[in-house]
Chain A
Amino acid sequence: DVKVTQSSRYLVKRTGEKVFLECVQDMDHENMFWYRQDPGLGLRLIYFSYDVKMKEKGDIPEGYSVSREKKERFSLILESASTNQTSMYLCASRSFVGTDTQYFGPGTRLTVL
């Protein structure tokens, strides 16, 4: 079974803090993704990575950066957290085999005070 894990289920940070959200997958997938999910706005793509050390901006990259130093790990960084970044963050990885499906982690509910 595909396993995508995220470092925290719940996180509370203060405005201005630097925040790291970690995502690890165990299926040797090349592609990895970070989304945020907000009520009424659905899932929106922040950044994705085609492979190690490669990254592409998604639809809402402002205020975020990413790092992919190893194939299995994709980190989302909030350089200076703000209250409007309070959200649910979902990581996914994609298989090229079979149905080309994205598999998601359990999500991190981030609150910025």
Chain B
Amino acid sequence: AQKITQTQPGMFVQEKEAVTLDCTYDTSDPSYGLFWYKQPSSGEMIFLIYQGSYDQQNATEGRYSLNFQKARKSANLVISASQLGDSAMYFCAMREVSSGSRLTFGEGTQLTVNP
């Protein structure tokens, strides 16, 4: 079974609007971490935001926020006030305590921001 599922292969958003990228995960570990990365066309993976399974509040980093719904096992990324430079591939990833330091990645969502 897929541990990380990103159901949106592609998403489009108008500049200055907000967009939500979906991520659901599957784990039986009580302790885990969830990450979002951005990969522009240049190829490097840029860390955006982290949510720990025991964190009480949703993580925020500037225009990025993580909508963490533990019971539903979802960790959606919200980008507010989209910019043209946000056009990229976005990956959700999970680290489970049982897997040590390994990350499991989803297949990604290609976001295009239209002017």
Contact = CB atoms under 8 A, between A and B. Distances in A.
Interface residues of B, number: 20
Contacts of A41: 107
For chain A, which range describes its interface: under 10, 10 to 19, 20 to 34, or 35 or more residues? 20 to 34
Given A42-B108, A45-B102, A48-B102, A100 B95 contact: yes
Contact of B44 (A50, A58, A102, A106): A106
24 contacts: A9-B43, A41-B107, A42-B91, A42-B108, A43-B105, A45-B102, A48-B102, A58-B102, A90-B43, A90-B45, A92-B45, A99-B33, A99-B52, A100-B33, A100-B95, A101-B35, A101-B50, A102-B47, A104-B37, A104-B44, A105-B44, A106-B42, A106-B43, A106-B44
Closest 8 CB pairs of A and B: A104-B45, A107-B43, A99-B50, A106-B44, A43-B105, A42-B107, A31-B101, A42-B105
